[in-house]
Every structure is written in C-alpha cells, then in structure tokens.
Structure 1
C-alpha cells in the first residue's frame, strides 16, 4: 500500500470513530436527569417567606401550593409585610397573628393572593386593571385592582396598595411575584380591623379607642360606617370632651348594612347617635350634617365581616 492510500484509509477510520463516538455521547447524555424545578411551596419556603408558609400550613392550602398539576400565580408578602399588618391589628408580630386567626380566615386571606392561572409580569399587564382571585366572596371571585404605571401596584379591599418588588420567580407549578404588603380581602376582618389595616384611618382608630367604641364596632353588627380619613380629622374641631367625641363618632354609624346601591338619597337617615344625616346623589355623593359644608363620599363599599365602610373627606358634626 502506498503512502497516499494509507493516509486515505486512516482519515476514513478516524471519521468513522468520531461519528460513532458522537452517537454514543448523545445516548449517555439522555441518561443524565435534568434538574427538577421546585413547587410554589418549596420556592416560598426556601425563599424565606416564613410567615406565608406558616399561614398556608395552618390554613390547609400548603397542599395546593405543592400540587404538581396546578399552574398558579402567587403574590407573596415578605415577612416584614406580615409583621406590619400584625402590628396594625394589635398583635405582637406575624407569628402571633397567624396563631390567633382561625384557619378559615387565613385561607381566605391567602386565596386572595392567588390567581387561578400562571401569569408572568407581561401576562398581568395584559390581564387588565381588575383580575379575579381564588377567593370567593358574595358568590363571585374577589378581584384585585392593578396599576401598571411605573411598576406593578395592587390595591386591595382595604384600599391599601402593595408594590410588586420582584417578578417572575419560577416554580414547577406556577410563578411567584413578591409584594411588600399583605393584601386584605373583603369580608374577613371586622370594621375596626379594616380601619386598622389602612394607615389613612389611623386618626379614626385612635378616636374610636379613645371613645371606647372598638368593642361595639367589632361586634356582630351589621353596621354602616362613614369613615373620615386622616385629612378630615386634621380639619375637624379639637378638644372635644369624651361624651362629645362619642356623639361625633356614633353620628358616623348607621345600624344595618347599607351598600352604595342601597343608599336612600334625599331621605333622612337615622344614625346611632340618634340624629339624622341626609345623603344627596351626585358625583361624588355628599352628606349634609349640622354645618354648612357637606362631606364628600370619596370611596364606597369597603366590605368588612360585620358591615361596610364608606370613606368621607370631612368629619360629620352633630348637635353637641
């Protein structure tokens, strides 16, 4: 065999060897298992969402977050967010709040943080300004309000706003978006707690405690409360006696639940203070008290477990 023939034979053998080696390598690669993505429950646990995991376990929904057949979206509040809500409600911390709230209440709260399908950040934006959650209230899915201006903001039933701080945390059965506040659903917390949950009502909460009305407004009710915000209290008369303060506050309370669609416009409405108010239709509706300046109703139908809150921009003044 001459040198040229020998070289041709060697190159052909080398090419065949490389080809067979490549085929064998592919077979070996097929035997190497791919890393398994973790479930929502595992991602939350390993991500440091201690309070969320504890609440989910007590509420009995940890199994849902581990369901391999699910494809969910979870808005996950940080431990700091859980602690903030807990202290507003009068608990020492998130652990104390989770221990105190019944499983059904925790289940409702957590389901309000879940959408029934997997939605990445782009899908959320495409989903519109209001989107249905896994929590059902009054026969329909409770909805969250979204604002996509400069990030993602979520307004809950207590009229408080959560910011999405991290998006698109992947899981095998859905996606997590981290948020900086616990979302408060309708119909779970009582009237006093709903006011406590929203910083714009801190003056109202302080006045209710000072007048020793927190027990009454936390009771079975139902009640309708026209709730002045902090700006309204700042402009209100100061240095009232305890009796006068109690009269002022009960002048904002109507016995029974009156939703915005049920307000009897133009008709005197009896308050718990024993004095009437008159509500006029308009955009927005207004309430006439004993002064010349009406109060505007600036938000309606904040649903509590024992009634409803309508927000007003002025403290209503009765005859004192």
Structure 2
C-alpha cells in the first residue's frame, strides 16, 4: 500500500525503489522485534516460576498495619476513660493478645453520666468488680455490623465475663421501602460508631455503659436501691412483690421516692391504704410488664420494623391498657421513653397523662430475671385507681 500511494505514472523510478527499500526495512525490524519477544517470554516465565519457590517469601498478613485495640482506644480522645478502666482492671495486657475480640466501648460521656469523670474515679471501685464490668463489654469473637441479623431483636452474644449481651438491629419495615435506619443496640446502648477495625478485632462505640448486676433478680435489685423504697412498699402492700424473685422475665418501671413524695405519697400512707378499695393491678401493677424482657431500645426497634407509634399491652388481670413509646435523639442517639394508661384498646377510651423516662443513664438495669427502668412520674394517683 505504501508503494501504491507513492506511485503514479509521472513518479520517477528512483522514488519508487526508495519507497520499496524503506518498506523492506520496516518489515525486517518488526519481524526481528517479534522474534526477540518470543525468545524473552520463556526466560521471563522461568524467572517468575523460580522466584515462587523462595521459602522466605512473605505475604502481607490481614490487619498487620492496624493498631491493637488497646492502642487505638488509648489514643482516641473520646475513649480515654475506657482505656483507664482497661489499665486499672488489668485487662489491657489480655487485649494486646491475638484475639479476635469485639470491644463494645462506652465513650467518655457515657461514663460521665454514671459519675465517672476522670481516671481517678475508678479507684473508688472494687478492682474485681471493675474487671467484670470491662469483660462484659468484650465479646470473645469478631462481630461486625453486618453479622447481626437485620431486624433481629435481642440476639445473644457471649462475653469474656461469661455473660451474654443482647444485640438488636432495627433496619426497616418489610412493608416500607424507605431508607433503612440501621440502628444497632447492645443491652439498650446505642452504637454511635461501628466496625472500627483493629489488628486483633473490631470496636463498636457505645453512648451508654451497659449495666448488669450478677446473681440478682429484679426484686433483689430494688431491695438494694433505697431510692425506690416507697415503690417497694406499694408492691408489697398489693401483693406484687414476691413474684419479682421468680423466673420472670419482668420489665419494671420504677419511680423514685421523690416522685411519690411530690404527690404526698409516703410509705406510711401506703401502709394505711385499704387494698380492697383499690385496683392494685392499676395502681402499682401497671409498672410491671410480666413475662417481658425489654430494653428501652426494643420499643424503638419495634416502632421501626412494625411501623408502630408505640407498644401496647393489656394490664395483668385488668381491662386497662398501657402504651410505651421510645424516642431516639438524632445527635446523641440517646433514648428516652414514655408510658401511659388508657381504659380500653380502641376508641372510645379515657387516657391518663402518664410518665416519662428522660434519664437514659438510669434505664436498662439488667438482672438475671429482667430489667428495671427509672421513670420520672406516676402512671396513676391513688384516687384514680379506686374501685367504683
């Protein structure tokens, strides 16, 4: 083609010959290059195969460039109190091991809410108790966010303390194609940062310290909490106390003494009540969910996956109903809740103002047979529970 482009009837012969000569040179160079490449490929193949036989060849190990869990926590400004707890409890050395571990790490604000503001505050705690608290925040496996079942409620995972934590993941309603919420909770504590990969596992940051009293019941927990003594008096007066030491589970909403006193209700006034004149299941039984094991986060989970504004349950041995709703703060992921009573499930019915749980640090007190949540208000006054 090159020759034909150069040639026409007026083209001198010497130009045609020159073009043919150039074409021959180009063709020879191409053929020579191909021959050299073919000779080089076997040699390169042998070189690569030979290099694969080196026994000292090392493959980069997974996560070898990540820091250990203890190092990451120590150098993260919002996790310094948990780092201090690791050192004080003697757990830091174990967490420098191979693992894998999953650390559920409360941030500094979470510790502040239960009265721990500096590392020195851990000195007030028994070392063994602190160690158990730390171990209850560590799983003996690597658990990623995507490992928790979607819309799973209270999925149990084993901890280094030999206990279990309950994980719930509220993603979306099967009947709703909206953007998934993907709220993850452990024992009612919100995960504010998930899947922080470290060399020996993974970290999830919590906004609340998980609370558990070993070898306890709802009854024994309340008995050891003097701020609820008037509530306990009412439970005893109306025959609701003894069952709280049983198998359960129970979910209890407990008003403190100051709440009762604000309405002129004391242990003495309760002692003087005529139980035959009141509906005890309304006056004090309404604070107890029988055969239910609910963290406050569960009510938020239900609202997402069931598209319900609240959880409604009939009172035990009564015609009245209670409704429980939970609200999650957009910025802090803190959960608050409210409880109210009404006279029937469907309209028409009478309703009562109810009470709220506005202090997340006082909720989700886990025992072996249920949970206790602090509530700032009374569900019903004595005169509203009178029999007619």
TM-score by length of 1: 0.55
1:190/1:304 contact within 8 Å kept = yes
Using the alignment, how far apart are the partners of 1:118 and 1:246 within structure 2? 50
2:148/2:169 contact within 8 Å kept = no
Say yes or no: does 1:13 pair with 2:43: no
| CA 1:152–1:112: 2 relative to 1, 3 Å | farther
Quick one: which of 168, 182, 201 aligns to 1:174?
201
| CA 1:5–1:309: 2 relative to 1, 3 Å | closer
Which string of whole-angstrom CA distances, capped at 9 and with x for unpartnered residues, describes residues 146-174 of structure 1?
Answer: 25253334363xxxx31111111112221
Using the alignment, how far apart are the partners of 2:381 and 2:122 within structure 1? 36
Say yes or no: does 1:151 pair with 2:137: no
- Give secondary structure in 1 for the equivalent of 2:149: helix
Question: What's 2:327 paired with?
Answer: none
Give unmatched runs, 5+ long, in structure 1.
196-200, 209-222, 252-274, 278-287
- Give secondary structure in 1 for the equivalent of 2:66: coil
| CA 1:71–1:246: 2 relative to 1, 3 Å | same
- Give secondary structure in 1 for the equivalent of 2:86: helix
| CA 1:276–1:183: 2 relative to 1, 3 Å | farther
Structure (1 or 2) with the greater strand fraction:
1
- Give secondary structure in 2 for the equivalent of 1:62: coil
| CA 1:146–1:290: 2 relative to 1, 3 Å | farther
Q: Considering only CA atoms, is the larger Rg found in Structure 1 or Structure 2?
A: 2
TM-score by length of 2: 0.47
2:189/2:210 contact within 8 Å kept = yes
Matched ranges for 1:1-320 at <5 A: 3=25, 4-13=27-36, 36-48=65-77, 49-68=79-98, 70-85=99-114, 87=115, 91=116, 93-125=117-149, 129-134=154-159, 136=161, 141-149=163-171, 150-154=181-185, 156=187, 161-187=188-214, 205=227, 229-230=254-255, 236=260, 238=262, 240=264, 245=266, 247=268, 292-294=278-280, 295-296=284-285, 297-299=287-289
1:135/1:142 contact within 8 Å kept = no
